[in-house]
Structure 1
């Protein structure tokens, strides 16, 4: 049976990068997992105050650095400052002076506080996590001792089962300068979302978004937030990254997300900081626990950090429940080691492509990359009824989470492994023939994936128009943001070419 030809007019306004008029303002910083903000979320004390001092080495080690134990040794000839560089790398991946410990579940709060005092610690918080069947405590060193020393002493206590550093995680967004033409619509065509939505719109599939604050009042997200949880308990307002990621999944007014009828569990785990937004092991664990215990069928994780044994335990427990997990491969570039949670085998890792099917220059590569999706110059909602143009594997991950929601809505009996296998099997091959470390199985094809999981008898395979062979190419897109006012027919692009767009309320669908 021949598939019907569907013509759907664009609901996305064309953006002309050459208009003139109102001056633009930058809406947020660029984020990189390799840069430490001078006062990130993890640098703040319990009162939220920033010390304003450089972070000293905590000796905590790194999940990605095999040389952290040699940081005190003299570097090779000609490599001045080698030990300082290694110490800095450690500090980028761990929260200074903090430890996360699994405690004996029988300990009361008073006993946990007494344990902390015995080891020169202050208990920041502790709770039971049903997801992994453990009681986890977060502690701060109060007397300036090295983390390695305190870790060994704490691990030897009878009331403690394991101890690790409190690792940092960062959102995977890099704002980008728009190219010529209308970059806002290409993702819909690349993913074949118009055709896919004729079969499924993700109706009522529950997707947990672990991110920064989401603007639930944005017209694009109207009615899409089924539940929310603030893992930070900091009462911060909505943030551009979380709002953009949510929009890539469920936008349904002027824009179109990959699963416009899905429902979100909005989990705020990333706190606003001077240069980005950060979270840590303890907060991410709280977020995963909440998502798994409150009905999430898919969990989107558009953030990255080092390997973390505690988070790996949570991910294994979530996989055992049959929940689909999707994560950003990372924006650290070609030379980066694998970033987590994307590199966990139970997670679908997503790299980013541009409108010409080139890999985003900042996108991570590696054997853990499962699939690719558009992630360069993506038009998204922003807080306060505004819009933004952004790039990063964060948004590629969100698109794929939405495609997974389409598949589950089409076939609710679909198992986690079946969904992953089908998603990869139906992807459109890019780069070298077959699987490669840039694009994984290729670019996601929402229409082919949704067709493949239909409950009807197996249909003929989807035929994708043949394309000329291409060399593996990498987008040289600059990592700079631009913001414009949709209501002003003449916004001036600032000299740094950075931009989010403000504007009037979008017209109803």
Structure 2
């Protein structure tokens, strides 16, 4: 039985309390997953019993369940309500609405365009200062560092769907012309708002004009699940509810790779459930390792066991100063002063593990185009076996298996002429 302090119909809602910006979750919200055909009746019972207010709800088709976002009564804590609801019959999961932040933002340009050598790995992510110039005249070291030019003679990632759970992106950017296969807005009451973070991620994967993406023939599914990163010292912000919404849509659209260039606290149950179920079905989840620095705790979803966690290195294969360190790090890829598309048809240098993850997502698209039945385990094994070892011999907590080598990874895998995901 629930505590008696929850009983009764909800009272009129007083003015909303101030939100603690440093909280790991939305301080007055809980998420409840309910499976089966009686979800509405169960939700109504929870509202009555616990004095909840329904803020929104959605169908998680990928899990065959429904998700409710409730506001809790004043005077109750998220932890108490989550624990009580988790014991209710018919409830599959009850959790906080965790907060996530993007892992990196375009770095303000601190040197002359004529200088082809970008700043050092000590650059700190900052608000974008987009470079209004021809991209072909700007340095693009990352492709050479990972062997992408030679890899593209073997694969261009034709028609592989790569979902980007991120901010809105500039679909009108010349680099992304014809690259976007679909878009979804996890903020249904707000319009799409193009932002440089997602635009940069998409261009690293599939640019096809002046810049060269890692997988230029892949198709992008863009999901706006985060507030804009541009112009914000804190970067883009998202929540479990919006991430779940975006991942669910991407899976239903047939995404084979899902790029998650964001991080939050300890993994939430429902996002983890989606990852576990669909990783075993052949979807490859790639996440940024985190920009919290060497003393930061593991970042999720990168630290989830079914996700490929990617850290960032510079053009000299030095570790990005702000990168997380831990035994969950799988691979390293370029993520310091990487040339990428920016909002408004512009270009900019970008730094952060966000952009390193995008390089790995692009290479996995190349691999999937040659071997459609490849899954996460095979992808990671192939990339790790052919990576350029960095740091101490063998796998380590800073670089994982080392810097990816796209050409070597493709040469080392069997080619399938047809097939479907495992």
Aligned partner of 1:436 in structure 2 is 396
Conserved? CA contact 1:119–1:153, under 8 Å: no
Aligned partner of 1:192 in structure 2 is 147
Aligned partner of 1:461 in structure 2 is none
**Is the aligned partner of 1:401 residue 2:336?**
no
Q: Distance in 2 between matches of 1:146 and 1:140?
A: 11
Aligned partner of 1:140 in structure 2 is 71
**Is the aligned partner of 1:155 residue 2:86?**
yes
**Is the aligned partner of 1:421 residue 2:386?**
no
CA shift, 1:178, in A, is 4.9
TM-score calculated relative to the size of structure 1: 0.69
Conserved? CA contact 1:113–1:122, under 8 Å: no
Aligned partner of 1:21 in structure 2 is none
Aligned partner of 2:20 in structure 1 is 55
Instruction: Call closer, same or farther: CA 1:166–1:259 in 2, change over 3 Å.
Output: same
After superposition, the C-alpha distances for 1:456-499 in whole angstroms (9 at most, x for unaligned) are: 9xxxxxxxxxxxxxxxxxxxxxxxxxxxxxxxxxxxxxxxxxxx
After superposition, the C-alpha distances for 1:301-344 in whole angstroms (9 at most, x for unaligned) are: 11111121221111101112111111100000100111111101
**Is the aligned partner of 1:280 residue 2:239?**
yes
Aligned partner of 1:209 in structure 2 is 164
Tell me which structure has the larger Cα radius of gyration.
1
Aligned partner of 1:353 in structure 2 is 313
Aligned partner of 2:259 in structure 1 is 300
Q: Distance in 2 between matches of 1:96 and 1:127?
A: 21
Conserved? CA contact 2:192–2:224, under 8 Å: no
Higher relative contact order (CA 8 A, sep 6+): 1
**Is the aligned partner of 1:181 residue 2:116?**
yes
Aligned partner of 2:198 in structure 1 is 242
TM-score calculated relative to the size of structure 2: 0.83
Unaligned runs of 5+ in 1: 1-49, 57-87, 457-509
**Is the aligned partner of 1:313 residue 2:267?**
no
Which of these residues, 309, 328, 331, is aligned with residue 291 of structure 2?
331
After superposition, the C-alpha distances for 1:229-263 in whole angstroms (9 at most, x for unaligned) are: 11222213111111111111001111111111110
Q: Distance in 2 between matches of 1:255 and 1:52?
A: 47
After superposition, the C-alpha distances for 1:333-367 in whole angstroms (9 at most, x for unaligned) are: 10011111110111110000001110000011111
Q: Distance in 2 between matches of 1:170 and 1:54?
A: 16
Q: Distance in 1 between matches of 2:328 and 2:33?
A: 29
Q: The residue matched to 1:241 in structure 2 has which SS? A: helix
Q: Distance in 2 between matches of 1:114 and 1:432?
A: 57
Q: The residue matched to 2:295 in structure 1 has which SS? A: coil
Q: Distance in 2 between matches of 1:105 and 1:138?
A: 17
Q: Distance in 1 between matches of 2:305 and 2:392?
A: 23
Aligned partner of 1:479 in structure 2 is none
Which of these residues, 26, 32, 48, is aligned with residue 101 of structure 1?
32
Q: The residue matched to 1:96 in structure 2 has which SS? A: strand
Aligned partner of 2:180 in structure 1 is 225
Aligned partner of 1:448 in structure 2 is 408
Instruction: Call closer, same or farther: CA 1:175–1:415 in 2, change over 3 Å.
Output: closer
Aligned partner of 1:265 in structure 2 is 221
Conserved? CA contact 1:224–1:264, under 8 Å: yes
Conserved? CA contact 2:106–2:196, under 8 Å: no
CA shift, 1:109, in A, is 4.1
Q: The residue matched to 2:82 in structure 1 has which SS? A: helix
Conserved? CA contact 2:306–2:376, under 8 Å: no
Alignment of 1:3-22 (within 5 A): none
CA shift, 1:182, in A, is 3.6
Q: Distance in 2 between matches of 1:356 and 1:239?
A: 29
Which of these residues, 379, 389, 408, is aligned with residue 349 of structure 2?
389
Q: Distance in 2 between matches of 1:178 and 1:253?
A: 25
Q: Distance in 2 between matches of 1:384 and 1:124?
A: 34
Instruction: Call closer, same or farther: CA 1:303–1:388 in 2, change over 3 Å.
Output: same
Q: Distance in 2 between matches of 1:356 and 1:104?
A: 50
